[in-house]
Amino acid sequence: MAQMLPEPLQRMLATLQPGSGAPAGREALSGQSGGAKPQPGAQEPPMALDEVAIKLPEKPFHIALSSDAPALDEVAQAQLAIASGRVEAAEARLRKLHAAYPKLEAPLVALADLLLRQERWAELRQLMESDTDMAESSPPLIFAYARALWATGQTSRATLLLAGSERINPSEHPNHYSLLAAIYQRTGRPMRAARLYRTLLSSHPPEGRWWLGLALAEEKRGAQAAARKAYAALLSMPNPTVGGGALQYAQRRLAALDQQDPP
């Protein structure tokens, strides 16, 4: 029977501040088609804006372990070490655990989470490819693997991996949908991106990054009324958490769309 980590550990881990994910695969994807041309008067959005929709999970990956799992205490201690800043020691412990129990998911998930937050994409991809069966079946590992694939220029593989996992509940794993939507956005498939952003907004408490992603997708596919609505929704949020540059861009685009076609 699965059990969560001890309550004191959960409280301590909840205080971790997530790392900010660097734009994944910017150089590798810079040559991708941008899809439809911007509408007259529109500025091509900075490449970083559609990456606002990508966000690392706010807390370390949830790890469920059976009560008799031999590595339960070791994984818990490693994550406590990470929380207290002893990252190198924690990584060494997790690697040792993964080597000792290669088919146990918990050490692999904890190690993948560590590499993900440090943006060590090549190492993370190598780790995931050491056991692709596990990496392609566990929700947190699917996200970690896809993020590493995208960051290392394997866009098609990342897309296939995430698209194959769309059966995952978006309310439980919204980052899967956010990452796939951002890939669709970057590779010239704004209609698919918009569909995923609408799914996120309807199945999860709305977040500013999704309104921004939806606005960019709708504008790129020429749906100006829908884009205006999404920009307005973003700007009306009391705490959109997307950064001042993104908000300024949204304000400019909303004003431009209102001038082109007054509401």
Domain range for 258 is 176-263
Using only the alpha carbons of the chain, give its radius of gyration. 20
**Has residue 257 been placed in a domain?**
yes
pTM of the model: 0.74
Residue 146 domain-assigned (yes or no): yes
Work out how many domains the chain is built from and give that number: 2
Question: Which of 5-19, 200-214, 244-258 comes out lowest in average pLDDT?
Answer: 5-19
Q: Is 102 helix (H, G, I), strand (E, B) or coil?
A: coil
* pLDDT at res. 60: 59
* Mean pLDDT lowest among 43-52, 119-128, 151-160, 210-219: 43-52
| Cβ pair 230, 260 in contact under 8 A | no
213 and 193 share a domain? yes
Domain boundary residue among 105, 139, 165? 165
Per residue in 78-102, pLDDT (tens digit) is 989 998 999 999 999 999 999 998 8
Residues 124 and 187 in one domain: no
- Say if residues 82 and 90 touch (Cβ distance below 8 Å): yes
Q: How many residues does the chain have?
A: 263
Check: CB of residue 135 under 8 Å from CB of residue 61.
no
pLDDT reading at 156 higher than 90: yes
- Please answer whether residues 150 and 157 qualify as being in contact, where contact means their C-beta atoms are separated by less than 8 angstroms: no
Residue 43 forms part of a structural domain: no
> Is 129 part of a structural domain of the chain?
yes
Considering 141, 165, 189, which residue would you say is the last residue of a domain? 165
d(CA 249, CA 233): 14
SS3 content of the chain, % helix, strand, coil (to 5): 60, 0, 40
Q: What is the pLDDT of residue 256?
A: 93
The residue type found at 35 is G
Q: For residue 107, which phi and psi values (nearest 5 degrees)?
A: -60, -35
Domain harbouring 183, CATH code: 1.25.40.10
67 within 8 A of 191, measured Cβ to Cβ: no
pLDDT value of residue 148: 94
Do residues 60 and 160 both lie within one domain?
Answer: yes
Residue 81 corresponds to which tokens in the numbers above?
Answer: 């070490």
